[in-house]
Amino acid sequence: MNKKFFSLLTILSIAALLTFFNVPLASSQGLTILASEFKGDLPANDPTAAAWQKAALVEVPLSAQNVAKPQILNTKVKSVKVRSLYNESQVAIWVEWADETKNDEMVRVQDFRDSVAVQFPLNASTPFFCMGQQGGNVTLWHWKADWQADITARKDMQTLYPNMYADQYPFAKGDAVNAIAPKDYTDPNYLPALASNNLFASAARTTPVENLIAGGFGTLTSRAASAQTVQGFGVWKENKWQVIFTRTLTVKEADDISFANGKVYPVAFAAWDGANGERNGTKSTSQWVSLQLGGAAPSTAKEETKAPTNFEGIVWAGLPMLMLTGGVLTLLALIFLISKLPGKK
């Protein structure tokens, strides 16, 4: 009875110590996207660059968002393929998914864009994978096909309806019928969305990616223009979108995510097929998967890659584990020796 009690106490003590040291003795069964280290500039504008082949490919399954209304349960994007690279200053995430139609116009009310988003939790724990939850904010990088197209050539009503007629554009300079671009206005304050730096009204886009923050359904908020630091590039080719997100590893904003080598970050993906009427909450989402900067050499690497560098964890996890293992073995040895003492049955 004493031995049993002692054994139970030992197990519970070890578990308490493991809990204290945050060593749960459970490894992930799920998907981990291993970001490979890359020397030099990241191929941020070339989804077909050979460098991407150095990073391990992970296919992340998606399913229709079926929690908040409105819902489209037969969403079209079933999975996204993901790779990631990083260098000393930046991290890049490459995403590819199948889409038979290219939807990069949002001019008419019946048009919806193709897009893809990457989401990271801002707390240590993983909140709800759809937009986070109260007390569990998430940051989102939302690449939009129409924003990408706007960088090349901004589309407006006159692009789609070249023969349209407008009576007048008040406060615009020159020919009232044709002068409808923001630059044609005498005073931008007459375009309040533009004057207040609303990203949607931006006359000249610098990035096709919107950086947002959310803490539950209905709380999605665009970050300030100064915090729109995520760059992106996307191309549609052979019925596939290939999109690259790029950002600096660290940011100065306290409520945004910074990345460190060797650490594992939960990440989730969402994708929209505009041709299927998918927008806002009607989308395909993934559960949380893991993104790790550094780690084992990818199996698909064609060139020599850097050896794993994420052994920093050994100091924090390995040493307590070794100490505990040693302690347990010593205890077991003591119990064994005590059981062998003369007079013991």
Partner 1 sequence: MIALETTDRRGLADRVGFTPQLLLRLLLIAAVFDWLVTRTFTRAAIFMPKPPPVILLYQILNVLGQFAFTLTGFVALIMLAWIAWTHLRARHDPLTFIMLTSLIALSLFFLFVAPAGVSAIVYQLLIVVSLGLIIKNSARPAWINIAAPALALLFATLYQLSQQLQLAETSLLFNLGELFFVVTPIVVARDSILRRKWIGLIAALAFLIIHALSPSMTGIIAIWSIGLTLYLPSIFYALAIGCVCVLAMDARTRGGTASRALPILLILAGGYAPQLSSQLFLNLIGVWLLTSKVTLYVVPYPASRARMIACARSATCSLLKMLET
Q: Residues interacting with partner 1, by CB under 8 A?
A: 2-8, 11-12, 14-16, 18-19, 23-32, 34, 56-59, 61, 63, 66-68, 78, 81, 128, 133-134, 216, 264, 287, 290, 292, 295-300, 308, 310-311, 313-314, 317-318, 332, 335-336, 339
SS (H, E, C) 80-115: EEEEEEECCCEEEEEEEEECCCCCCCCCCCCCCCCE
Rounded to whole angstroms, the maximal C-alpha distance in the chain is 110
The span from the CA of 111 to the CA of 105, in Å, is 6
Torsion angle (degrees, nearest 10) of CA 287, 293, 296, 300? 70
Residue with smaller CB distance to partner 1, 227 or 335: 335
- Taking the complex as a whole, the smallest distance from the CB of residue 326 to partner 1 amounts, in Å, to 15
- DSSP H or E stretch at residue 329: helix 319-339
Residue with smaller CB distance to partner 1, 246 or 292: 292
- Taking the complex as a whole, the smallest distance from the CB of residue 223 to partner 1 amounts, in Å, to 24
DSSP one-letter string for 276-326: GT--TTSSEE---EEEEES-SPPTT--S--PPP--THHIIIIIHHHHHHHH
Cβ(211)–Cβ(229) below 8 Å: yes
Residue with smaller CB distance to partner 1, 81 or 154: 81
- Structural tokens at position 42: 């990241």
CB pairs under 8 A, 24+ apart, for 301-308? 301/36, 301/53, 301/54, 301/56, 302/50, 302/53, 302/54, 303/54, 305/36, 305/37, 305/54, 306/36, 306/37
Residue with smaller CB distance to partner 1, 149 or 291: 291
- Taking the complex as a whole, the smallest distance from the CB of residue 276 to partner 1 amounts, in Å, to 18
- Taking the complex as a whole, the smallest distance from the CB of residue 104 to partner 1 amounts, in Å, to 26
- Taking the complex as a whole, the smallest distance from the CB of residue 251 to partner 1 amounts, in Å, to 24
- Taking the complex as a whole, the smallest distance from the CB of residue 205 to partner 1 amounts, in Å, to 34
Residue with smaller CB distance to partner 1, 76 or 144: 76
Residue with smaller CB distance to partner 1, 8 or 260: 8
- Taking the complex as a whole, the smallest distance from the CB of residue 146 to partner 1 amounts, in Å, to 29
Residue with smaller CB distance to partner 1, 84 or 231: 84
- Taking the complex as a whole, the smallest distance from the CB of residue 259 to partner 1 amounts, in Å, to 15
**Contact partners, residue 227, CB within 8 Å, separation at least 6:** 211, 251, 253, 256
The span from the CA of 63 to the CA of 12, in Å, is 40
Residue with smaller CB distance to partner 1, 200 or 311: 311
